[in-house]
Amino acid sequence: MVDAGKQLINEVISEKLDMEKLGIGPNCTTITVADLGCSIGPNTFYAIQIIIEAIKLKHITKSSESLNLEFQVYFNDNISNDFNMLFRSLPPSREYYVVGVPNSFYERLFPKSSIHLMYSSASLHWLSGVPKEVKDPNSLAWNEERIYCATEEVTKAYSCQFEKDMKSFLRTRAEELVSGGLMMLFTVVRQKDTAHSQTSSGKFYDILGSCLIKMANRGLISKEKVNSFNLPIYNASTEELKELIDEVNYFTIERMEEYSLGSIKMARDTQVVISHIRAAFEGLIRNHFGDEVIEELFEDYTKAYAENLNTFQESSTKHNSTFAIILKRI
């Protein structure tokens, strides 16, 4: 994702970053950059390097005065993120001051108007939590024996949660971004009017759900445990995203476009898919079901994925696309 976004990052910084408007000058020589949902590296270090190089290049070519710019980079992720691992793998030759920011990005993270550029990659589809209705047996949205958007009611509950979270994300970021500051969001979206179960990621999740049900049928985990487990994930459509950005009304949409990621190629390589799924969900599954289910579950998953490979090639399956959304703080 970082690689695919490189050209876009360079273009956006070159064309859209107005250093003067941001207040960068003799009295403010520090540029602050934040990665929201940075995980443990090394992707974040690579992305930050691209961003800093692009800003330096712009500064050299466009600026008449030669400021001694300093960079401060805020690495943000949830408190449960392994910040020790992140800090210990920092590039030794970095040209920026490092800070770690442990908190959910659905809450305020930084002081008012303190960040010039925000970046987030492959993080915004993570909700702040599973909508509570889908875990409630008395609700129409109860997601029995499924772990993701299965019925219309469940999808509606997820969509409401996403709307709430995304508005909170946009409003808190608007407070923290300097006027004229940029937000570069890279996220996986689904095509408009496509049911989640018809998307390729929806199918990945459904296979995981059916593996859990089979383990429950074999008596290895309880049905209740499966019923109370749901993925805190929602792949919005670009239309949903655009509507929320417009409604919140703090940002202009500078660019919003698909960029190629080779997702279809990726889906063909079983090992890559399994390792992605495992990296994303292992922690969540361990927390809910315990350590002892993990190995068997992912063995089952590998088999089930291989058996279902053809469903990813069916014409009814809509592959998710990766979108770059570039916002500027009004």
Binding residues (CB under 8 A) for a copy of itself: these are: 29-30, 70, 72, 74, 79, 82-84, 87-88, 90, 97-103, 108-112, 114
Of all helices (H) and strands (E), which one includes residue 77? strand 70-77
Please report how close the Cβ of residue 26 comes to a copy of itself at its closest, in angstroms: 12
Shortest approach of a copy of itself to residue 66 CB, angstroms? 16
For a copy of itself, the closer CB: 106 or 110: 110
**Cα–Cα dist 165/159, whole Å:** 10
Report the residue number, 102 or 283, with the smaller CB distance to a copy of itself. Answer: 102
Which of 99, 266 has the CB closer to a copy of itself?
99
For the bound state, the minimum distance from the C-beta of residue 72 to a copy of itself, rounded and expressed in Å, comes to 5
Task: Give whichever of 71 and 301 is closer to a copy of itself, judged by the CB atom.
Answer: 71
Is residue 164 within 8 Å of residue 158, measured between CB atoms? no
CB of 194 to a copy of itself, least distance (A): 39
Q: φ and ψ at 137, to 5 degrees?
A: -60, -20
The number of helices, as runs of H, and strands, as runs of E, in the chain is 10, 7
For the stretch 195-205, what's the b/e string if a residue is b when 16 or more beta carbons lie within 10 angstroms of its beta carbon?
ebbebbbbbbb
Rounded Cα distance, 27 and 136, in Å? 55
The structure tokens listed for 322 are: 């990766």
Dist CA 253 CA 243 (whole Å): 11
Q: 242 φ, ψ to 5°?
A: -60, -45
As a residue count, the chain comes to 330
Q: What minimum distance in Å lies between the beta carbon of 25 and a copy of itself? A: 13
Nearer residue to a copy of itself within complex by CB, 131 or 181:
181
Q: Token pair for residue 98?
A: 């490092």
Taking the complex as a whole, the smallest distance from the CB of residue 302 to a copy of itself amounts, in Å, to 31
Nearer to a copy of itself, 74 or 162 (CB): 74
